[in-house]
Amino acid sequence: MDRSASHADHPIEPDARRGLAILAAVCVAALALPLAFSGGAVATPAIGRALGSLGTSEKLADPTALNWITNAFMLSFGSLLMAAGALADLYGRKRVFIYGLAGFVLCSLALACAPTLLAVDLLRGAQGAAAAAALAGGTAALAQEFDGHARTRAFGALGATFGLGLAFGPLIAGVLIEYASWRAIFLSGGVACTLSLVFGTRYLRESRDPHARGIDWPGTLAFTLALSSFTFGVIEAPVHGWTSAPVLALLAASAALACAFIVVEKRSARPMLDLSLFRYPRFVGVQVLPIATCYCYIVLLVVLPLRLIGVDGLREIDAGCLMVALSAPMLVVPFVAAGLTRWFSMGVVCAAGLVLAAVGLLWLAVALRAGPYAAIAPLALIGIGAALPWGLMDGLSVSVVPKERAGMATGIFSTTRVAGEGLALATVNAVLAALTATHLAQRVPGDRASLTEAAARLASGDPVQAAAWLPVAGATTLQHAYSDAFGTVLKGLAAITLLCAVIVAAFLGARTREQVAPSDVPAQERQRA
């Protein structure tokens, strides 16, 4: 008899010690994942300084390679998350969790010894794939080990751990760079996942979905290639130009692959993405929430440290301390949001939070003109605004569809969140570089290639190499051009966030019976993502 089926029919409450060990295994892994994301962003300038020069001052770090330090991780993580969940159902949740952790540890150790930027980028892609397996397998296994209120508390602890990693990831990365090396960031993630691996191997029980029928490989391949083509095209656009043949070819390929993915999913007997769910208006509204938080919150976790360290000249540890103002509200505000739903609908609370975040982004665009430390108050407002929907959208993702569709709904939601983060980062970096090039062209003479290269290096947080490409521009001119472009980007992010707030209010604003707790959804459906 399948163990997962018998466990679902006859729930077994683990003893306190074993249950704590299981929860610790998954939560420690969940703590390492945000550190791998935000820590890599904070470490980017240091990695560029260390690996960008190949022995001569003339050979400078490629800004495209620097962008891939974060984008490679997010791309593989987002595109493979649903496939990893299907593998966990088919071959075993514990097995996929353990293999994912082992791969993450190996990649982390290799990153700590990486000799070149190319090696870092390739290893970050492999690390993202391992993270997808660890997250999908770990959360599915956790759902099988706990039932009822114990499951609610366990997933609450898991969410709090993610919040802890987001809140203090930049600070931890800054401290490690200040007192050790950027390599210590990846080494610490490997050590954390080693502890998780030990506990998970010993205490987790294996479980499978007895009804799993295989992996939608055509859909997975089309989805991954579509995301990869779009991301690569957007990253290359600032260097080669948006109208260049390679960029247009990549973007066209992305559109064609996306259409192919839709066709494959419509014809698949067991699709990775059930398109029929998009017939529910409230389900569509829920998908807007992770997109909104990507643009008002996640993007800042990456692009703002690059500015603070590379352009404003802060040390990594000081930039990490400043970033706590943005991410610390994630530890408290989600609980406040849950309390507010006693009086307001979840959609209203989420929309109100997005409006606050948009106001904070506009405030930040003005405050940064007075210096980096003037950003503390607007960053806190952005963090509070983003944390309001953050604490509710996971529950909404399963409450706005019939209960029997909850597993697929959470899978789509998770993929929208993680893949959206990668796309948002690539797009914002490309737009920032393009705007910086435009402002530089208005201020200093220079050929298009030099202006483009200088702008790309400024956008990656490296004004020294930008000055090497555009020596006629002084440091002040470069900084002002970048600051003006950064302010325009913040206003654009505010506009996107406000638009998302309007859509969320329209689709999710009314209080309905669909607003139920995630614990009301059967365990077999909730864990499939």
Helical H runs in 54-212? 63-91, 93-112, 117-145, 148-179, 183-203
Where does the pLDDT of residue 385 fall: very low under 50, low under 70, confident under 90, or very high at 90 and above?
Answer: very high
Over residues 480-506, the mean pLDDT reads 91
Does 390 map to a domain? Answer: yes
Does 254 map to a domain? Answer: yes
Same domain for 176 and 94: yes
Model pLDDT, residue 440: 83
Higher-confidence residue of 101 and 204: namely: 101
Amino acid at 84: A
Same domain for 118 and 9: yes
What does the H/E/C string look like for 196-257? HHHHHHHHCCCCCCCCCCCCCHHHHHHHHHHHHHHHHHHHHHHHHCCCCHHHHHHHHHHHHH
Over residues 193-202, the mean pLDDT reads 84
Model pLDDT, residue 15: 61
Over residues 294-308, the mean pLDDT reads 88
Where does the pLDDT of residue 371 fall: very low under 50, low under 70, confident under 90, or very high at 90 and above?
Answer: confident
Same domain for 256 and 135: no
Does 8 map to a domain? Answer: yes
Does 477 map to a domain? Answer: no
What rounded mean pLDDT belongs to the chain? 78
CB contact at 8 A, 353 and 410: no
Same domain for 300 and 226: no
The pLDDT tens digits of the residues spanning 210-267 come to: 666 667 778 778 888 888 888 888 877 777 777 888 888 988 998 998 888 888 877 7
- Whole-angstrom distance, CA of residue 166 vs CA of residue 328: 8
Same domain for 76 and 26: yes
Higher-confidence residue of 25 and 415: namely: 25
Question: Range of 261's domain?
Answer: 217-269
Low-confidence winner among 151-160, 161-170, 191-200 (lowest mean pLDDT): 151-160
Model pLDDT, residue 452: 79
The pLDDT tens digits of the residues spanning 329-347 come to: 888 888 788 788 788 888 8
Does 39 map to a domain? Answer: yes
Model pLDDT, residue 10: 44
Model pLDDT, residue 399: 63
Residue 524 gets which letter from DSSP? H
Same domain for 156 and 37: yes
Model pLDDT, residue 225: 86
Same domain for 105 and 183: yes
The pLDDT tens digits of the residues spanning 51-78 come to: 865 433 334 556 777 778 888 888 888 7
Same domain for 293 and 240: no
Higher-confidence residue of 308 and 32: namely: 308
- Whole-angstrom distance, CA of residue 483 vs CA of residue 479: 6
Does 37 map to a domain? Answer: yes
Does 520 map to a domain? Answer: no
Model pLDDT, residue 202: 81
Q: How many domains does the chain have?
A: 3
CATH of the domain at 296: 1.20.1250.20
Query: What tokens were used for 108?
Result: 């982390």
Same domain for 98 and 172: yes
Same domain for 171 and 264: no
**What length is written for the chain?**
529
Percent of the chain with pLDDT over 90: 13
Same domain for 317 and 236: no
**Cβ-proximal residues to 355 (8 Å cutoff; 6+ apart), any chain:** 385, 498, 501
CA-based R_g, the chain, Å: 22
Same domain for 280 and 258: no
